[in-house]
Structure 1
Amino acid sequence: MTSCLSPHPLAQRFIQFALQAGALRFGEFKTKAGRLSPYFFNAGSFDDGAKLGQLAALYAEAILAQDLAFDLIFGPAYKGIPLATALAVELARRGHSKPFAFNRKEAKDHGEGGTLVGAPLRGRVLIVDDVMSAGTAVRESIELIRRAGATPYALAIALDRQEKATEVGPDGTVRELPYSAVQHVQRAYGLQVCAIAQLDDLLQYLEQHQHPEMAAHRQRVFDYRARYGVA
């Protein structure tokens, strides 16, 4: 179980790009776990062809640097669909053409039917998503891939938040776990995880840009990392 830690310059380029595109913002945002996060990442803000193409190029660089030996790209609905599609195009442009597939949330009862679209799931599958919080979409993808007779092999994400995962107990209470959703995927499913950038890379970016506004953001992000972060 290895993790693809992107080269530092690639991570910094990604963070700069995400800020310029409005995909990475600072403020106060409530997460799925109910935490008040000082930053928010939304891949839906890469909302034109040029931005999506640049994002796909960053994914491709991180994935090729790790030399992942996968046979097919899978994008979980919904945000994973354009990511997987754009990545397949970019990899083909670089001489690494791979089939791709994605799923529907609701089964189609006409035409070809079913929940899967694209190439048949086979071999070692690379799952592509934007960011993983609770890990629900990835677990569902893993089950779907296994049911189809293929092997979940690796996960590529844009940003690893590096924070403690949570689970809801039988009584409805939420408790923090001593590991992140990414670490859980690595340990529980044996997947390699490739992240273009991590929260630590964001802190490094904020440290390098020392004007007052960035200093205020950095302190809030640092405090959040200290409270909810994992090693």
Structure 2
Amino acid sequence: MVGKTDKADAAQDALAQEFVQFSVDSGVLRFGEFKTKAGRMSPYFFNSGLFDDGAKLGRLAAFYAKRLLASGIEFDMVFGPAYKGIPLGAAVAIELARLGRNVPFAYNRKEAKAHGEGGSLVGAPLKGRVLIVDDVMSAGTAVRESIAIIQAAGATAHAVAIALDRQEMATENGQDVPHSAVQYVRDTLGLQVCAIAKLADLLQYLALHGKDGLGAHHAAVLAYRQRYGVDQGTM
């Protein structure tokens, strides 16, 4: 018999699988050989910049919103860090409002504005528990920068929402460390982390689509996971 928790997990898995399929169909998730920021050769590449039209961005925001609402994470507003986080955060705020969860939204500029309203922040004042929306985390650097901005405004950085959790070791000073960027943000910085999908979901997708020509990439992605992967639990 499937219990309430099992049903919730199954629903989340279904959402993750749908998201991976959407990413493949959109050309956002590609397979081959790609060099990461850490200097590793990865058998897959996730480029959220290719969610590049209104329909794709709207559907992406729907995935974020569904995962966030299902997670139970409480937050008072959305913050989109420059640059990729700006359209992501705005789109997620719009979708949340459409689903009945209307919250303020703000973002930062990389360069402070010296005229007009001035400053580096745009949108609603940063207040309360702030949700940071971004695409992926490689080292947690962008999150630390966002936390500094949020704290300087007197608000609390409370949680982070990302599209894909790569579930792999981060690097410090060019060396692999035994934790991921997500684990660092969650366990050291104390923020909750919510991901639409994880590398484990991608592996499951490849295993299920062996007859579609994608199964050939499963072995390479699994080997990468076995070499660089970490076990962790994003929501």
TM-score, normalised to structure 1, is: 0.94
1:67 CA displacement: 1.6
Preserved CA contact (<8 Å) 1:29 1:40: yes
Say if 2:101 is the partner of 1:96: yes
- How far apart, CA to CA, are the structure 1 residues paired with 2:66 and 2:85? 18
Greater RCO, 1 or 2 (C-alpha within 8 Å, sep 6+): 1
Corresponding letter in the other structure for 2:163: A
Preserved CA contact (<8 Å) 1:76 1:129: yes
Q: Pick from 24, 28, 32 the counterpart of residue 19 of structure 1.
A: 24
SS in 2 for 1:33: coil
Preserved CA contact (<8 Å) 2:179 2:230: yes
Q: Pick from 113, 118, 133 the counterpart of residue 128 of structure 1.
A: 133
Which residue in the other structure is 2:223 paired with? 223
- How far apart, CA to CA, are the structure 1 residues paired with 2:185 and 2:167? 13
SS in 2 for 1:57: helix
1:165 CA displacement: 0.5
Preserved CA contact (<8 Å) 2:210 2:216: no
Q: Which runs of 4+ in 1 moved over 2 A?
A: none
Q: Pick from 165, 177, 186 the counterpart of residue 170 of structure 2.
A: 165
Q: Pairwise mapping of residues 147-166 of structure 1 onto structure 2 (< 5 A)?
A: 147-166=152-171
Which residue in the other structure is 2:75 paired with? 70
- How far apart, CA to CA, are the structure 2 residues paired with 1:188 and 1:164? 15
Paired residues, number: 223
1:189 CA displacement: 1.4
- How far apart, CA to CA, are the structure 2 residues paired with 1:116 and 1:57? 25
- How far apart, CA to CA, are the structure 1 residues paired with 2:212 and 2:47? 25
Identity rate of aligned residues, in percent?
66
1:69 CA displacement: 1.1
Q: 1:134-167: CA deviations, max 9, x gaps?
A: 1111110011111111001000000000000101
Say if 2:83 is the partner of 1:43: no
Segments of structure 2 that go 5 or more residues without pairing to the other structure are: 1-8
Corresponding letter in the other structure for 1:153: H
Preserved CA contact (<8 Å) 1:5 1:197: no
1:192 CA displacement: 0.6
TM-score, normalised to structure 2, is: 0.92
Superposition CA RMSD, Å: 1.4
Segments of structure 1 that go 5 or more residues without pairing to the other structure are: 169-173
